[in-house]
């Protein structure tokens, strides 16, 4: 082999190695930590079902577990804004004796990114008076703002208000 052919081979091997390393670097960069895929609108809308099921337990702490520690709750049947877990538990201690059962009437979901979404619309609650057992239905507007924290979807803002014309 001549000195020239050895130089050509070395150049080809070097170029091939650089190309291969560049390709591996690109693959490694894209194979690194992946961001979660955006949830579907249906997945976000279904978070209400979990919250509604927590209501059915009658345990205010289980309901409060659906909220982030720094969540804000603007509740339907209280004028007080709830801004921490203790206040949210307190609200549900007073609300749950009415055995609320929620049902969405209209929902609009906006998935903002892989870790945040908003579900807003109209729902109704069937409430049962603890003393008489009489049932009544209350229609309300709602907004749930969700964030995925530590791999779990939590409510960070929840606003619910009775329909003004109802």
- In this structure, are 89 and 134 located in the same domain? yes
Q: How many residues does the chain have?
A: 166
Q: Give me the number of domains the chain comprises.
A: 2
State the residue range of the domain holding 30: 1-34
Sign of the dihedral defined by the CA atoms of residues 93, 99, 100, 101, in that order: positive
- In this structure, are 47 and 106 located in the same domain? yes
Tokens at 129, concatenated: 């008076």
Q: 30 — phi, psi (to 5°)? A: -85, -15
Segment 146-162 mean pLDDT: 97
- In this structure, are 28 and 83 located in the same domain? no
CATH number, position 150: 3.10.450.50
Closest CA to 100 of 47, 139, 69, 67: 139
Give yes or no for residue 19 having a pLDDT over 90.
no
- In this structure, are 93 and 27 located in the same domain? no
Task: Classify residue 36 by its DSSP letter.
Answer: P
- In this structure, are 106 and 150 located in the same domain? yes
Lowest mean pLDDT among 3-12, 22-31, 68-77, 88-97: 22-31
- In this structure, are 60 and 25 located in the same domain? no
Tokens at 42, concatenated: 């249906």
Burial class (CB in 10 A: 0-12, 13-18, 19+), 81: exposed
Tokens at 49, concatenated: 């079902």
* Mean pLDDT of all residues belonging to the chain: 85
């Amino acid at each position: 082999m001549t000195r020239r052919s050895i130089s050509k081979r070395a150049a080809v091997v070097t170029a091939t190695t650089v190309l291969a390393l560049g390709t591996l670097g690109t693959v490694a960069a894209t194979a690194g930590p992946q961001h979660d895929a955006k949830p579907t609108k249906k997945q976000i809308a279904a978070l209400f079902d979990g919250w509604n099921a927590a209501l059915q337990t009658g345990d205010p702490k289980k309901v409060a577990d659906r909220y982030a520690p720094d969540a804000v709750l603007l509740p339907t049947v209280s004028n007080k804004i709830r801004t921490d877990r203790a206040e949210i538990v307190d609200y549900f201690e007073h609300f749950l004796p009415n055995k609320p059962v929620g049902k969405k009437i209209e929902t609009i979901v906006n998935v903002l990114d892989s870790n945040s979404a908003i579900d807003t619309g109209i729902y109704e609650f069937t409430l049962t008076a603890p003393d008489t057992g009489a049932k009544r239905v209350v229609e309300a507007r709602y907004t749930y703002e969700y964030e995925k924290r530590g791999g779990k979807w939590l409510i960070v803002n929840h606003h619910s208000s009775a329909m003004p014309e109802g």
